[in-house]
């Protein structure tokens, strides 16, 4: 229930958003405040609803390629990955190994870009302006690399059922190697500039502690779950694509506060770099697309659920086919939706300024929640 | 008591460490490009709106008016029309309209084209004052591009082909009867 103002009580009902700078998009949170303390926080969603799921039911599979990137504009490739994997699983298509490696390389680069965007935006929420300039400098390198191979900077629509639509070239591979070296040296800058900073530490340590029970109760995933000590990562617990061939860690921090989530994401970027490096070293030759993909992709009858690890957590596609080339149902389980759902319980009794830090640390992407 | 002072000292020190980073980067060369005085080079793979491929030698297009692109487009932005010149066997392209306001740059049209008759342009400096500015007539653009390349455009050429006389029958194909809105 959204709280209504009550003149007999000494509480204040305050709208945060839908155009609040710290909600990163059109999220509205109705707050009930007692002074500076939050009593209740009710997220109101739907401002960015664009009927992506419905479009999935009226368009054929290739018509939906453009939609997946629009849901999560920060980590568009993981959304594309889940979509094509679900369809491929339903149709039993074997993707050439080179294509799968390319998917992993680009998705991991995209994950780093997404975390860098989060890094900048989160600190911006906390009032630190300069870090975003550093992180966007690095992010720019990734976007240039991805633009070179996919042709777009944000909404890539690069993955196709049966492969990817363009092969990697030498320039991308060399550029990525240079980037890996550069990025490794940049973490030190981030740690010096931000991680050790006393003001930052005071604002995030011990703030917004999420217990593992709460994570399980609300089904939160991704860095939010790993920041509470739950080593749940789809790449490890339910390996898809070629992730089982790489050697990487799942960073977890048990504290459960905003600082733990921050450290999870920074550590994850390093792991993603490791994956990219290994994948580049072992990149097999061969085609990047299955030879014969039927023009009309007849889906089903049947159903599949395919989960992938997006930058924000578990992303699931539940695809039901009825024998035609248009899905009967395409349900999407976006990670941010579940991560946002714990906000009300989490916000009880915190300071208003801390709520901004908590929401920032959840890394919400609103179009993905609203779909 | 000692802890209190140590905390203060460590806090101040962490700020100094951060300031040192700031100082180092303040003296480093700029990483940004001063647009519009400088411009970045666009990668050859950039996906702008679509354009018809020009054969730079003959000034011809490659379209066979098969309508695959129009059918592949999930947003319905493409309108293709063709006509058979008198006496010819194949249709020639007479009209290719792109409603760029609806295009999601998915690339399905380019992939669907059997003759690779369309490509992505590299235009990114696109701005307009009304949405009609984005209803492109690609045939017109084709002619302009031919002229900049210095070839005579040979598109939508409906001059009758001299073959053995046939009963007069001109057929206008109009599968693409979607009007540009507005
Ligand atoms: S890129 Fe996609 S949306 Fe744009 S015209 Fe081609 S098929 Fe249509
Ligand atoms: S798919 Fe290619 S050849 Fe066919 S109508 Fe479109 S542009 Fe012309």
Q: Residue A71 and residue A155: Cα distance in Å, rounded?
A: 9
Whether B31 and chain A come into contact, CB under 8 Å, resolves to: yes
Apex B82 CA angle, B81 and B87, nearest 5: 165
Q: How many CA atoms, within 13 angstroms, populate the side-chain half-sphere of residue B42?
A: 14
**Counted domains in chain A:** 1
pLDDT for the residue A2 = 65
| Least CB–CB distance from A66: residue in B20, B106, B120 | B106
pLDDT in tens, A141-173: 899 888 888 888 888 888 888 888 888 888 888
Q: Residue A104 and residue A289: Cα distance in Å, rounded?
A: 15
> Which of B101, B108, B121 has most ligand 1 atoms within 8 Å of CB, for mutation?
B108
Domain range list for chain B:
1-31, 50-173
> Residue B66 C-alpha to ligand 2 middle, in angstroms?
5
**Ligand 1 atom 3: the closest Cα is on which residue?**
B103
**What tokens were used for A331?**
């349900």
Helix H or strand E segment including A164: strand A163-164
Assigned CATH for B50-173: 3.30.70.3270
pLDDT in tens, A258-272: 889 998 999 999 999
**Ligand 1 atom 4: the closest Cα is on which residue?**
B103
**Ligand 2 atom 1: the closest Cα is on which residue?**
B113
CATH number, domain with residue A276: 1.10.645.10
DSSP state of A74: S
Measure the CA dihedral B102/B104/B108/B113, to 10°. Answer: 50
Q: Residue A308 and residue A242: Cα distance in Å, rounded?
A: 12
- Is 50 exceeded by the pLDDT of residue A302? yes
Can you give the pTM of this predicted structure?
Answer: 0.85
Q: Which ligand is nearest to the CA of B116?
A: 2
Residue A328, classified by CB atoms within 10 Å of its CB into exposed (0-12), middle (13-18) or buried (19+), is middle
Give the residue numbers spanning the domain of A317: 59-341
- Is 50 exceeded by the pLDDT of residue B176? no
User: Residue B182 to residues A270, B94, B136: CA-CA distances in angstroms?
Assistant: 51, 22, 13
Q: Is the dihedral of CA B46, B50, B55, B56 positive or negative?
A: negative
A91 lies in some domain: yes
> Residue A53 C-alpha to ligand 2 middle, in angstroms?
30
Across A80-108, average pLDDT:
89
Q: Is this complex scored with an ipTM above 0.90?
A: no
Strand-pairing partners, residue A309, are A314
Which B residues 96-115 touch A at CB under 8 Å? 104-108, 111
| Least CB–CB distance from B45: residue in A59, A148, A194 | A148
Residue A35: which region, alpha, beta or left (left: phi > 0; alpha: psi -120 to 50)? left
pLDDT above 90 as % of chain A: 7
Which B residues 133-162 touch A at CB under 8 Å? none
Interface of A with B (CB under 8 A): 59, 62-67, 70, 130, 134, 137, 140, 144, 147-152, 155, 157, 160, 165-166, 189, 192-194, 196-199, 201
């Amino acid at each position: 229930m959204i709280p209504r103002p009550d003149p007999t009580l000494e509480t204040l009902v305050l709208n945060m958003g839908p155009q609040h700078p710290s909600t990163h998009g059109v999220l509205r949170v109705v707050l009930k405040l007692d002074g500076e303390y939050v009593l209740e926080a009710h997220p109101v969603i739907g401002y960015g609803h664009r009927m992506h799921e419905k479009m999935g039911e009226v368009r054929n599979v290739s018509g939906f390629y453009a939609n997946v990137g629009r849901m999560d504009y920060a980590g568009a490739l993981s959304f594309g990955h889940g979509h094509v994997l679900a369809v491929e699983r339903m149709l039993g298509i074997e993707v050439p190994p080179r294509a799968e490696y390319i998917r992993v390389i680009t998705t991991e680069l995209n994950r780093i870009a997404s975390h860098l965007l989060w890094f900048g935006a989160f600190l911006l929420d906390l009032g630190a302006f300069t870090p975003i300039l550093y992180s966007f400098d690095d992010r720019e390198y990734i976007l240039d690399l991805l633009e070179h191979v996919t042709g777009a900077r944000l909404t890539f629509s690069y993955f196709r059922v049966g492969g990817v639509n363009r092969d990697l070239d030498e320039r991308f591979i060399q550029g990525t190697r240079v980037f890996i070296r550069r990025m490794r040296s940049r973490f030190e800058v981030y740690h010096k500039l931000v991680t050790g900073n006393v003001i930052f530490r005071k604002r995030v340590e011990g703030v917004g502690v999420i217990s593992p029970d709460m994570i399980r109760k609300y089904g939160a995933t991704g860095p939010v779950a790993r920041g509470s000590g739950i080593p749940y990562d789809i790449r490890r617990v339910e390996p898809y694509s070629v992730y089982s061939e790489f050697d990487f860690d799942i960073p977890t921090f048990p504290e459960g506060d905003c600082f733990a989530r921050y450290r999870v994401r920074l550590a994850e970027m390093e792991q993603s770099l490791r994956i990219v490096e290994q994948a580049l070293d072992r990149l097999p030759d061969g085609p990047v697309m299955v030879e014969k993909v039927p023009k009309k992709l007849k889906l089903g009858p049947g159903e599949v659920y395919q989960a992938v690890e997006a930058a924000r957590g578990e992303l699931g596609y539940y695809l039901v086919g009825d024998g035609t080339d248009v899905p009967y149902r395409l349900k999407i389980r976006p990670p941010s939706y579940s991560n946002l759902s714990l906000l009300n319980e989490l916000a009880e009794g915190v300071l208003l300024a801390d709520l901004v830090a908590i929401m920032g640390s959840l890394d919400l992407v609103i179009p993905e929640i609203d779909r | 008591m000692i802890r209190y002072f140590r905390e203060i000292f460590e806090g101040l020190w962490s700020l100094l460490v951060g300031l040192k980073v700031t100082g180092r980067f303040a003296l480093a060369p700029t990483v940004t490009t001063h647009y519009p005085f400088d411009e970045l080079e666009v990668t050859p793979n950039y996906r702008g709106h679509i354009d018809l491929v020009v054969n730079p030698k003959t000034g011809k297009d490659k379209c066979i008016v098969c309508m695959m692109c129009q059918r592949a487009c999930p947003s319905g932005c493409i309108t293709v029309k063709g006509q058979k010149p008198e006496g010819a066997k194949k249709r020639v392209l007479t009209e290719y309209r792109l409603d760029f306001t609806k295009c999601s740059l998915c690339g399905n049209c380019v992939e669907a084209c059997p003759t690779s008759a369309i490509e992505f342009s590299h235009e990114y400096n696109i701005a307009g004052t009304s949405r009609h500015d984005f209803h492109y007539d690609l045939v017109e653009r084709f002619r302009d591009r031919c002229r900049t390349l210095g070839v005579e455009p040979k598109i939508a050429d409906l001059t009758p082909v001299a073959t053995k006389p046939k009963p007069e029958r001109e057929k206008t194909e109009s599968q693409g009867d979607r009007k540009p809105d507005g």
